[in-house]
Amino acid sequence: MAEPLAHFGGRTGSRLVTVSDDPAVLDSGGWWAVVVDFEGSATFARFGHVESGPMPDAAWPGVDPSTWTSSMSRPEYEAAVALVRDRIAEGFVYQANICRMLRAPMPDAVEDLTGLASLLATRQRAPYTGLVRLPDQGVHVASASPELFLRLDGRRLTSSPIKGTGRTPADLLEKDSAENVMIVDLVRNDLGRVCRTGSVSVPHLLALEEHPGLVHLVSTVSGELRTDAAWRDVFEAAFPPGSVSGAPKHSALQVIDALETAPRGPYCGAVGWVDADRQRAELAVGIRTFFVDAADGRPQLCFGTGAGITWGSEPAREWDETQLKAERLLAVAAIRHQGGANATERSTT
């Protein structure tokens, strides 16, 4: 069995010290890997040794693309979009993010996602690529997230929600901009609950970011964290991320609970690191993220995809957005990689 480790931001943590589910440990000291499920289950792992270097590498046999299954079919997903629009018409919610979970059997030859994380680091080059490997806790996560949930630098707390996705800038609609602004207001409110009064601002609104295979609209919200605010307070104020829940958040979470047919797990949660000694942290929204679910005995590789639904949403277009977000990442997972400097090839099995 491989040793526990975590890799984020060009640094690898090894020599596991302790694992906790209490966010209070993040205020104590040390370097911690963080995985928080969308449903709230948390894993905080402290590592005793941290060093700079590339993403760890290992073999990855590739996932047969034909083995992926979805928690919602196209008709089911489009029906869910229509139901969200009904709730919007009733005034219950303004926007809700509806997701579906994809699952495929884990390749027999591997026990964790190190090889897949290495592929994501070289093929996807996302700003928040990461790996968490905790065999005893059953936590295996490989992320290529493009979205910043929370960054802490001293007392400066920053979030950069993504809303608006297309293959090219020409695909972005007025609906995307309106949705982004709506979520910015929500994030401003979230950060305002733990930041000094009057310190929350929006340095960047509706910035266009290009990523492999698609473009996003990204805004940035920032504030000065109050001196009496602990990590528990931050999670209570801001989690789950507004961009993957909706507005108002409480109502959107009720809609999600009623319409989604599978738990999200680390997808749409928080994945990243906290350096408690230096008062620095970087947590990504757990999108473009693979994880392992072995609850049923047979390990399954899981990946989620979704779209934000507003009154202006068209069900068919929203389904297509979920396909766009998934297709490149599933193609990477299909690659057969021998590890090290060896060549890779696309799996055809």
pLDDT of residue 322: 96
Annotated catalytic residue within 78, 163, 236, 321: 163
Instruction: Tell whether the model's pLDDT for residue 348 goes beyond 50.
Output: no
Residue 340 — very low, low, confident or very high, per pLDDT cuts 50/70/90?
A: low
Q: Is 325 a catalytic residue?
A: no
pLDDT of residue 36: 98
CA 317 to CA 73: how far, in whole Å?
14
Q: Convert the pLDDT of each residue in 273-311 to its tens digit.
A: 999 999 999 999 999 999 999 987 789 999 999 999 999
Annotated catalytic residue within 90, 111, 147, 318: 147
pLDDT of residue 347: 43
Range 144-178 burial, b when 16+ CB lie within 10 A, else e: bbbbbbbbbeeeebbbbbbbbbbeeeeebeebbbb
Give the mean pLDDT of 180-202. 96
Q: Is the pTM of this model over 0.75?
A: yes
Give the mean pLDDT of 150-170. 92
Instruction: Tell whether the model's pLDDT for residue 349 goes beyond 60.
Output: no
Among residues 20, 40, 38, the alpha carbon closest in space to that of 29 is found at 20
Residue in the block written with tokens 């969308």: 38
pLDDT of residue 344: 45
Count of CB atoms within 10 A of residue 108's CB? 8
Give the mean pLDDT of 6-13. 97
Q: Is 224 a catalytic residue?
A: no
| % the chain with pLDDT above 70 | 97
Residue 216: phi and psi, rounded to 5, are -130, 155
pLDDT of residue 174: 85
Q: Convert the pLDDT of each residue in 69-106 to its tens digit.
A: 999 999 999 999 999 999 999 999 999 999 999 999 99
